Structure 1
Amino acid sequence: MCRHLAYLGPDVPLGDVLTAPEYSLFRQSWAPRRQKYGTVNADGFGVGWYAPGDPVPARYRRAGPIWADACLPDLARVVRSGAVLAAVRDATLACPDGEAAAAPFAGGRWLFSHNGAVSGWPGSLGALAAGLPSEALLGLEARCDAAFLWALVKHRLEQGADASEALSETVTEVAAAAPGSRLNLLLTDGATITATTWGDTLFHRPLPGRAPGMLVASEPSDDGDGWTEVPDRTLLAATRTDVLLTPLKEPVA
């Protein structure tokens, strides 16, 4: 499994989102409080962020544990952003792809992360792979289930689906092909956050204070008020000011 989060709000140092809270994503790499599967997220990490006036995000990813990266403290101190997606990784299977297998995955203006595991990977999704264009398969960043899920989502986005359609249709399709999969997906374009719950936890909270903003995360980063747990089998669509929750349909047997 993994832990991930997305932030929309005023420009802040990345450290305010990643490392400063008492139970931050940094701490969740070795001591998650709500993680249902796995105990340590030490198989890589990544952070993606948007700079003012540039719709294409930047990323910083590493193959090792977040606590062992000597460059992150300086990066987190000086880089500021109002839109962030970050994740710490617990690999489902051993993978030779290093940092390429660490979320967030990116394409155009989008950042994507997967918290979960695809049952029977990779054989269970052979039929879905056959439905993707060859360039989507040959262009996979890594040979892991999360990278393949991103290929499915990205293909739908490129075909004109909106973020909610791309995530919900991918979850339903994969859950039908690989029952028992855990498919908590997280997607942002720097202005919105879209996510699914399918097998693990997710919470959302408006930012405290007057400034509009939203935080969506696998688990709360502090014990403050305002956190709301998202029910399992739910699609979340959020902006800086609003959250919409929609039940996800179970796949047809």
Structure 2
Amino acid sequence: MCRHLAYVGPEEPLGRLLTEPEHSLLRQSWAPRRQRYGTVNADGFGVGWYAPQDPVPARYRRAGPIWADPSFADLARVVRSGAVLAAVRDATVAGADGEAAAAPFASGRWLFSHNGAVAGWPDSAAPLVSALPPVELLSLEARTDSAFVWALVLHRLRAGDEPAEALGASVRRLAEAAPASRLNLLLTDGATIAATAWGDSLWYRTEPGRGTVVASEPYDDDPLWQEVPDRTVLTASRAGVLLAPLEDPASSPTLDSVRAGAPPSPKEPCT
């Protein structure tokens, strides 16, 4: 559910990344090629971008489908940026949050998006509520699983975690509380990109002089695109891409089984 993309590199018009490629994010809103869950991403969209000499990004978000907004087409034609995060949304459940539920979510220099769903939302998230101060819960932009995931990640960033650390730790906690969740997360500060592959597709393309793109799926057939293995955290910059495995709580031994000398439980397949 949802498709998203982040880019860091030389300045480009937004349209060259989001609307012009043959299988761009615009086309993925009605005809994604690799989306495993859902079919149409028409419940909202958004783009965030960074201007030179300004660390705080601008955002443009709407509650309707990206193809129905002529103002965005005009904006994408003329606005240029060296760092972008954009998403088209397929809502997990029906809600009244509208534009506020559309990624990217933002705080300070950060932009964030979630592709997937927290299984059993909202009941499954109840054990994690205590991890957040009341003021952060009351500050949620929307009453959605993605907004809650963003609150967990942002809390760790504010506590001093590096981006990949904040994403990885949040994914593990969510996967433990709601094991069937799909948690592909995307985060940028305008200089680097961090992302997780957890239950859905994630790809990247990097080349000196062309920058780095991390996306739910390739927007063209360039052979430089590489698929990220499931259960992986990615860190990308203009210099390149690093991948590291993410431990699945379902494959870790419990304290009781370790004490008893029992083998760890087998890893559950992604559903």
Percent identity (aligned): 70
Letter of the structure 2 residue corresponding to residue 223 of structure 1: D
Counterpart of 1:54 in structure 2 is 54
Letter of the structure 1 residue corresponding to residue 165 of structure 2: E
Letter of the structure 2 residue corresponding to residue 154 of structure 1: L
Letter of the structure 1 residue corresponding to residue 236 of structure 2: A
How do residues 230-249 of structure 1 correspond to structure 2 at under 5 angstroms?
230-249=228-247
Counterpart of 1:80 in structure 2 is 80
Which aligned segments of 4 or more residues in structure 1 are displaced greater than 2 angstroms?
none
- Aligned-pair RMSD on alpha carbons? 0.8
Counterpart of 1:67 in structure 2 is 67
Structure (1 or 2) with the larger CA radius of gyration: 2
The alpha-carbon deviation at position 224 of structure 1 amounts to 1.4
Q: Distance in 1 between matches of 2:9 and 2:155?
A: 28
How do residues 4-23 of structure 1 correspond to structure 2 at under 5 angstroms?
4-23=4-23
Contact 1:132 1:155 in 2 (8 A): yes
The alpha-carbon deviation at position 130 of structure 1 amounts to 1.9
Counterpart of 2:92 in structure 1 is 92
Counterpart of 2:177 in structure 1 is 177
Letter of the structure 2 residue corresponding to residue 118 of structure 1: V
Contact 2:117 2:145 in 1 (8 A): yes
Q: Distance in 1 between matches of 2:18 and 2:229?
A: 24
SS in 2 for 1:126: helix
Q: Distance in 1 between matches of 2:209 and 2:112?
A: 25
Contact 2:206 2:241 in 1 (8 A): no
Counterpart of 1:217 in structure 2 is 215
Q: Distance in 2 between matches of 1:245 and 1:12?
A: 26
Listed one character per residue, the Cα deviations across residues 134-174 of structure 1 (whole Å, up to 9, x for unaligned) are 11100000000000000000000000111011000000000
Count of equivalent residues: 251
The alpha-carbon deviation at position 212 of structure 1 amounts to 4.7
Letter of the structure 2 residue corresponding to residue 230 of structure 1: V
Counterpart of 1:140 in structure 2 is 140
Pair 1:112-2:133 in alignment = no
The alpha-carbon deviation at position 66 of structure 1 amounts to 0.2
Contact 1:114 1:183 in 2 (8 A): yes
Q: Distance in 2 between matches of 1:243 and 1:189?
A: 16
Q: Distance in 2 between matches of 1:188 and 1:228?
A: 20
* Unaligned residue ranges in structure 2 (runs of 5+): 255-271
Q: Distance in 2 between matches of 1:20 and 1:248?
A: 34
Q: Normalising by structure 1, what TM-score?
A: 0.98
Q: Normalising by structure 2, what TM-score?
A: 0.91
Q: Distance in 2 between matches of 1:118 and 1:237?
A: 23
Q: Distance in 2 between matches of 1:131 and 1:86?
A: 28
Greater mean alpha carbon deviation, residues 145-154 or residues 7-16: 7-16
